[in-house]
Amino acid sequence: MKIQTALPALLALLFPPLLAAQHDVVIYGGTCAAVISAVQVKKMGKSVIIVSPDKHLGGLSSGGLGFTDTGNKAVIGGLARDFYHRIYQHYQKPESWKHQKPSEYGNKGQGTPAMDGENRTMWIFEPSAAEKVFEDYIREFGIEVVRDEWLDREKGVKKEAGRIVSITTLSGKTYAGKMFLDTTYEGDLMAAAGCDYHVGREANSVYGEEHNGVQVGVLHHRHHFGAVKEKISPYKVPGDPTSGVLPRISPEDPGKFGEGDKKVQAYCFRSCYTNVPENRIPFPKPEGYDASQYELLLRVLNTGWDEFFEKFDPIPNHKTDTNNHGPFSFDNIGYNYDYPEASYERRREIIAEHRTYQQGLLWFVANDPRVPKKVQEELRQWGLPKDEFIDNGHWSHQLYIREARRMIGSFVMTENELRKKKLTPDSVGMGSYTIDSHNVQRYITPEGYVQNEGDIGVSTNGPYEIAYGSLVPKKGQADNLLVPVAMSASHIAYGSIRMEPVFMILGQSAATAAVLAIENALPVQELPYESLKARLVADGQILHYTGPKSARGTDPKKLDGIVMDDSEAKVTGHWQESGAAKAFIGDGYLHDGNAKDGQCSLRFEPKLTQPGKYRLQLAVPPNSNRASNAAVEVQHLGGVKKLVVDMKQPQARDGLHWIDLGEFECGNDTAITVSNAGADGYVVVDGARWLPVK
C-alpha cells in the first residue's frame, strides 16, 4: 500500500508532463474575467480549464457588487453585455421576485437596449442571481473547472525559453497549456512567472500624470472629514496629543503631494443587506469586537452628519449593495498595504480583519447606546439576507480587492490615455467610468485634525480605449501569458479600468488573443493587431466610440437659454477636472482643488443673439465642501457687479443644480467671471447660463 501511494508522486517527479492536465488555454483565477475568458475560448473551438482558488465563481460580480459601476453602457459589448442580458432574462421570471414585485422595484437598472436594439439588459442584481448566470455559462459551454486550487507561488510555475509550460497548485496538481491567462485580482500567476509589476502609487513624474501619487490637499468625494460640520480631533482626549491617537488613524507623515508610495487604496466588502423581516438575520457581533475601534465614527455621527445610509444602494427583492460612503465608513483604510504580495495565510488574516472591522461597525451602530437614536433605529431595520452567501454566514465570500499588483507590460495605460491627452494604440475594449480611487490613508493634519487622503474622482472626458499591449507582459518575460485583470496601468488609470464590466471585456479580448496566438504559433506580443481586431469586432466588442461622451452628462444644447459648459470658459490658473457628481453638463466640471490662492478664475463670454434682459445662473454640482463666499463678477450693460456666491446651496433645475445671480440687461460684451480669491471652500463650476426674461 505504501508503494502504491507513493507511485503517483514518483511518476510526477520523473515525468511531470505525462501527468499534467493538458489544455490549449489554462485560466488561473475565479473572477468574472475567468468565466468570460473561458466561454470565449470554447466559442473559438479550443480546450480550456479554469483553475480557481475560489469556490465561488464571479469574484465581486457575484460577491456583492450588484449595483454595477458601468459608466457609459454603450461601450460595453460582446460577452460582457451578454452577461447583463442574461441577468435581465433572470428577472423576467416571476419566481425571481420572492420578496418584491417587479413593479415595486420600478425597473431600476432594467431595459437598457443593446447595440442592436434587441437584447435587453439589466445592470443591478442580487449576488445569487449573478452566480447563477456564471454557473449557467459553465454548464452550457461544458467548461472544466477545478476549485479551491491555489497556485504554488514559489515553485509552481514552470517556464522554458520565456514561455510558461505548466502551473502546479499547492495540492500538487499540475496543469499544462499552450496559453495561460491570469484572471486574479492579485496578479499571482503574473508575478510568479517573473513579469514586471508595481504595487502602490507611482509618483506623478513617472508617467507625466496629474492625479497619481500622494493626494494631500485634494478632496473630491464626500469621503473626507471636510464633509462634516466641524473639524474632528484625532486624539483620545480631544485636543490633547499626550492622550494618544484614536484607533484607525495613522500618526505617520502622509507624504508630499505627487510623491509615490507603496500604499494601496482601501478595501471593503460590498455587503448585501435586507429589510424584509422574514428574510433578515440581525447583524452578528463578531468575535474580537472592540467598541473603541469606532470612536472616530461616533464623533462623526455626533456632529450631525446624516449620510450613513447614502450607499445602501437598492437591488431587487429589498436588498442592498452597500458600499463605503463618508469620512469613516466601511472602507478599512490603511489595513491592506501588505495584502498584494502577502502569503495566502497572511491574506486570510487581512480578510478576516476586514470582516471583523465591518461587522463590528454594524454591531456598534446598531447596539452601542452612544450612537444617535435616529441612526440606530434605522440600521436595526436591516440585517443579513438568509438567501445570500448561505455557506459563508450570509456574508460575502469576496473582499473588494480594488487594486493589488499591476503588471508593467508592453504598454502602460495612464491617465493621459484615459483623458485623451495621448493616443491609445491597438484598442481591445473600452472603459468610461470616472477615474476613481478610494482613500489610501487617514492621517493627522499639521493643524491637529484628522483627515483622509487618496480619494480621487476625475472625469475621463468620455469613453476611452484600452491598449492590447496592456494585457501582455514585456517580450521574453512570459510570451504565452495574458493578464486582463491585474493588467498594465498606473494607479490612477487603474482607478477607472478596474470596473467589473471592463474586466469581462478584457477577459474576452485576452482569450481571443490567446486562441489566435495558438493558431498562428506566435508569442502574444507579436500577434498581428488587425487579425485580433477583426475577430473582436465580429464578436461584438466595442473598440471605438463616437457617441455621447458621458451617460451622466447633459448636452448643453438641450437646456433652456444660452448655456456654456466649463470647457468653453477662458481658464486662468490650475483647475482640476472631476466627474464624481451624479449629473453635470457635458463631460464633467472644474474645481480649484480647494487652493484658496486667488490664482484660479473662469470667464464665460457668450455670443448673445440679441441684447436684452437675462437671468444669469451658474451650474454648480452640490456638496457641503463648496465655498460659501465664491467671488463672482457679472459684466452687463450697466457695468460690472461683484457678487459673493454661496456654492453650498444650488437649486435643482433641469436635472442639474443652479445658482441664480440675478436679472441683468446684457449686450454682446456680457460675461461671468468666477474666482477663488478668498474662498473658504472648493470653488466648483460646471457651466453658466443666460435665460431670456420675457
What is each CA distance from 76 to 3, 240, 423, 534, 535, in whole angstroms?
56, 53, 20, 17, 16
Nearest C-alpha neighbor of 660 from the set 593, 597, 615: 615
The HSE-up count of residue 574 (CA atoms within 13 Å, CB side) is: 8
Residue 571 lies in a domain: yes
The set of cell numbers assigned to 40 is: 470565449
The whole-number pLDDT of residue 2 equals 43
| pLDDT level of residue 34 (50, 70, 90 thresholds) | very high
pLDDT exceeds cutoff 60 at 584: yes
The set of cell numbers assigned to 331 is: 472602507
Strand locations in 308-413 (E): 312-315, 319-322, 384-385, 406-407
Report d(CA 394, CA 271) in Å as an integer: 9
Report d(CA 422, CA 247) in Å as an integer: 43
Q: Determine if residue 236 is left, alpha or beta; phi over 0 gives left, psi from -120 to 50 gives alpha, anything else beta.
A: alpha
The whole-number pLDDT of residue 220 equals 76
The CATH number of the domain where 566 resides is what?
A: 2.60.120.260
CB 480 within 8 A of CB 178: yes
pLDDT in tens, 66-83: 999 888 899 999 999 999
CB 544 within 8 A of CB 518: no
Nearest C-alpha neighbor of 162 from the set 529, 515, 526: 526
Residue 641 lies in a domain: yes
Nearest C-alpha neighbor of 524 from the set 539, 533, 513, 535: 513
Mean pLDDT of the chain: 93
Report d(CA 81, CA 84) in Å as an integer: 5
The set of cell numbers assigned to 240 is: 490633547
pLDDT in tens, 236-272: 999 999 999 999 999 999 999 999 999 999 999 999 9
Average pLDDT for residues 645-656, to the nearest whole number?
91
The whole-number pLDDT of residue 229 equals 84
Average pLDDT for residues 121-141, to the nearest whole number?
97
Identity at 149, one-letter amino acid code: E
Least confident span in 269-273, 529-533, 570-574? 570-574
Percent share of the chain, pLDDT over 70 = 95
The whole-number pLDDT of residue 688 equals 97
Report d(CA 455, CA 623) in Å as an integer: 15
| pLDDT level of residue 424 (50, 70, 90 thresholds) | very high
Report d(CA 643, CA 137) in Å as an integer: 61
The whole-number pLDDT of residue 6 equals 52
Residue 671 lies in a domain: yes
The set of cell numbers assigned to 615 is: 437671468
The whole-number pLDDT of residue 91 equals 95
Residue 198 lies in a domain: no
3-state DSSP assignment of residue 540: coil
- The total of other beta-carbon atoms located within 10 Å of residue 547's CB is 9
Bridge partners of 104? none
Average pLDDT for residues 87-96, to the nearest whole number?
95
The set of cell numbers assigned to 428 is: 481591445
Q: pTM for this structure?
A: 0.86
pLDDT exceeds cutoff 60 at 1: no
Identity at 533, one-letter amino acid code: K
The set of cell numbers assigned to 399 is: 473582499
Average pLDDT for residues 42-54, to the nearest whole number?
98
The whole-number pLDDT of residue 20 equals 67
The whole-number pLDDT of residue 115 equals 43
HEC sequence for 353-367: HHHHHHHHHHHHHHH
Dihedral of CA atoms 678, 681, 685, 690 in degrees, nearest 10, equals -60
Listed in sequence order, the residues at least 6 apart from 287 whose beta carbon sits closer than 8 Å to its beta carbon are: 356
The whole-number pLDDT of residue 14 equals 46
3-state DSSP assignment of residue 244: strand
Number of domains in the chain: 1
Report d(CA 162, CA 185) in Å as an integer: 23
pLDDT exceeds cutoff 50 at 11: no
DSSP code at position 425 = P
Nearest C-alpha neighbor of 553 from the set 576, 580, 585: 585
Radius of gyration of the chain from Cα atoms?
A: 26
pLDDT exceeds cutoff 90 at 553: no
The whole-number pLDDT of residue 418 equals 97
Sequence length of the chain is 694
Pinpoint the alpha helices (H) of 477-574.
Answer: 491-497, 500-520, 529-538
The whole-number pLDDT of residue 598 equals 87
- The total of other beta-carbon atoms located within 10 Å of residue 309's CB is 13
Residue 680 lies in a domain: yes
The set of cell numbers assigned to 523 is: 508569442
Strand locations in 15-162 (E): 21-28, 48-51, 110-113, 120-122, 144-146, 157-160
pLDDT in tens, 168-224: 999 999 999 999 999 999 999 999 999 999 999 999 999 999 999 999 988 777 788
Nearest C-alpha neighbor of 467 from the set 425, 523, 515: 425
Buried-exposed string 575-604: b where 16+ CB fall within 10 A, e elsewhere: bbbbbbbebbbbbbbbbbbbbbeeebbbbb
pLDDT exceeds cutoff 60 at 578: yes
pLDDT in tens, 352-409: 999 999 999 999 999 999 999 999 999 999 999 999 999 999 999 999 999 999 999 9
| pLDDT level of residue 225 (50, 70, 90 thresholds) | confident
Residue 272 lies in a domain: no
Average pLDDT for residues 114-123, to the nearest whole number?
68
Percent share of the chain, pLDDT over 90 = 83
pLDDT exceeds cutoff 60 at 111: no
3-state DSSP assignment of residue 245: strand
User: Residue 676 is part of which domain span?
Assistant: 553-692
Pinpoint the alpha helices (H) of 91-181.
Answer: 102-105, 127-140
pLDDT exceeds cutoff 50 at 116: no
Least confident span in 8-22, 248-262, 584-598, 612-626? 8-22
Residue 557 lies in a domain: yes
Q: Which helix (H) or strand (E) holds 612?
A: strand 612-619
3-state DSSP assignment of residue 161: coil
Listed in sequence order, the residues at least 6 apart from 224 whose beta carbon sits closer than 8 Å to its beta carbon are: 327, 439, 451, 452, 455, 625
Residue 142 lies in a domain: no
Report d(CA 174, CA 171) in Å as an integer: 9
Average pLDDT for residues 454-465, to the nearest whole number?
91
